[in-house]
Amino acid sequence: MKNPFKYGCVVSGDSFCERPELERKLVDFIRSGQNVVIQGERRMGKTSLVRETIARMRGISLVYIDLLGVCDPADLCIRIAEALAESGKTLPFYKKLGKMLSKLRPTVSIDTDSGMPVFSLDKAAASSAGSVEAILSAVAQEAKNRRLCVVFDEFQDILGMMEGTRTMAVMRGKIQLDSSTPYIFLGSVRNKMTDIFWNPDSPFYHSAASLPVGEIPEDDFYQFAASKFKTGGKILSKDVFEEIFVAAQRIPGYVQELCDTIWDCTDRGAKIGAKELEDGLQGVFAREKEHYELFMDRLTPIQRKVAKALAVYGGKGVYSGAFLMNAGALNIGTMRRSITKLMAENLIYRHNDEYKFFNPFFAQWLKSKAGK
C-alpha cells in the first residue's frame, strides 16, 4: 500500500487537509479583488492552502511567482513573465505575450524533451529601466481578457534584492492601479513581512488585508491523519495523535513528516502506540542525521552547547543566570553572539519573548544528544 502522507512539497487533492474557515476567507478576498498578505511560520501549509483554494475556484487563472532567493529586478521580471506565460500554457498566448513585452526581447522556443513551448526574457533587456512596470502592465492587460490571481511566494526576499526598496515602490504603484486583480503575498519570515506591510515607511504599508495561517485545528487534523492510516488498515487513536501533534509543534508539514515515517515502520493492521511513535521519530532522525550534523559542524563548541540548552530547557529567559549556567555560556555577551549565530543559520527564530527552533525534530534530536 502506497504511503498516503506527503511533506516537503505543495500538496493538493486528497493529500490536502482542508481548512474550511481559511479557505472561505481567502475565496471572499479573491472574489472581491482584495489584495491579501498571508503570514505563517515555515511548513504551515500557506502555499498549499492558496494553490488548492484557487484551483477549486472556477474561472480564475493562477499566476504563481516564487521569489525565494530573488536577486535583482531583472530576476524578478523574468520570474513574473515566466509565471504569466505558464498561466496561459499555449503557443498563441506565448506569442501574444511576446508582443506585449517586445522591448524586453522575449523568445519562444519548444522544449525538445516535453515538446511544450518555453517563454523567456533576455536578462540584459529585463535589467533596463521600466522593465518592472512593463511586466506588471502586461499582467494588468491580460487581466482584461481573463480573471487572474497573482501570488508572490516568499515575498520577504524582495528586501534582500538589489534595489529592493525602489522596486517595491514601482510594484506598489502598478499594483494599486490594477483594482480587478487580487494580489496575494506569502511570507514565512515574520519580522520582514511586518517591515514590508506594517512599517509606515514601506511602499506596501497597509496595502493588503491580513490573513494569518497557523496550525490546523487538532480535531480536523486527527480526522485527516486517521483516515490516511485507515487506508492501510492501521489504527490511529486520538491520544496518540495528540502526542504526534505536540512532537511536531502543531506544524502541518512536520505532522505529515512524522506520520510518514510512522507509516513506513508499521505493518498493515497495526495499532499506532507509543512504540510506533518513537520508531517514527527515530526514522526522522535517521533520515535527517547528515543534515543535523552539518548544521552542528557550522557552530563553535559554545554555540553547540547553547543550541542543546535551548532544546533541553526551552527558549525563554535565555539571559538569566540559571540558563547561562545550564548552557555553559561564559556571559551574556557570549550568549547573545551565540543566539545571533543560531538565528543567522536559520536554526531558531524569535517569537514574542521566546526563541524557538524552526525544525522541532532537530530540537528533539539535540535533546537526545544532550550530555554526550
Q: Check residue 371 and give its pLDDT.
A: 60
Overall average pLDDT of the 233-251 stretch: 94
Residue type, 31: R
Mean pLDDT of the chain: 92
Q: How many residues does the chain have?
A: 372
Q: Check residue 116 and give its pLDDT.
A: 79
Is the pLDDT at 356 greater than 90? The verdict is yes
Overall average pLDDT of the 264-271 stretch: 94
- Closest to 182 in 3D by CA, of 214, 140, 131: 140
Overall average pLDDT of the 85-92 stretch: 87
For residue 107, what pLDDT band results from cuts at 50, 70 and 90?
Answer: confident
Handedness of CA 231, 235, 238, 241 (dihedral sign): negative
Overall average pLDDT of the 257-283 stretch: 95
Percent of all residues in the chain with a pLDDT value above 90, rounded to a whole number: 78
Q: Which CATH class is domain 299-369?
A: mainly alpha
Q: Check residue 215 and give its pLDDT.
A: 87
Q: Which three cell numbers stand for residue 365?
A: 534530536
| Residue 44 per-residue DSSP state | S
Q: Check residue 118 and give its pLDDT.
A: 82
At residue 273, what are phi and psi to the nearest 5 degrees? -135, -165
Is the pLDDT at 8 greater than 80? The verdict is yes
For residue 68, what pLDDT band results from cuts at 50, 70 and 90?
Answer: very high
Concatenate the DSSP letters of all residues of 81-119 into one string.
HHHHHHHH-SHHHHHHHHHHTGGG--EEEE-TTT--EEE
For residue 339, what pLDDT band results from cuts at 50, 70 and 90?
Answer: very high
Task: Domain ranges for the chain, please list them.
Answer: 15-210, 221-295, 299-369
> Which residue in the block uniquely carries the three cell numbers 506585449?
100
Overall average pLDDT of the 248-269 stretch: 94
Burial, 9: exposed, middle or buried (Cβ in 10 Å; 0-12, 13-18, 19+)? exposed
Q: Check residue 317 and give its pLDDT.
A: 93
For residue 372, what pLDDT band results from cuts at 50, 70 and 90?
Answer: low
Is the pLDDT at 349 greater than 70? The verdict is yes
- Cβ contact 54:253 at 8 Å: no
Tens digits of residue pLDDT in 310-319: 999 999 999 9
SS (H, E, C) 173-214: HHHCCCCCCCEEEEECCHHHHHHHHHCCCCCCCCCCEECCCC
Q: Give the 3-state secondary structure of residue 61.
A: strand
Say which range, 84-93, 174-183, 196-205, has the weakest mean pLDDT: 84-93
Is the pLDDT at 293 greater than 70? The verdict is yes
Is the pLDDT at 170 greater than 90? The verdict is yes
pTM to 2 decimal places: 0.86
Tens digits of residue pLDDT in 13-52: 999 999 999 999 999 999 999 999 998 888 899 999 999 9
Concatenate the DSSP letters of all residues of 290-340 into one string.
HHHHHHHHTS-HHHHHHHHHHHHH-SSSTTSHHHHHHHT-SSHHHHHHHHH
Is the pLDDT at 2 greater than 80? The verdict is yes
Q: Check residue 40 and give its pLDDT.
A: 86
Residue type, 116: M
Q: Check residue 94 and give its pLDDT.
A: 87
Is the pLDDT at 10 greater than 70? The verdict is yes
CATH 1.10.10.60, applies to 15-210: no
Overall average pLDDT of the 139-167 stretch: 94
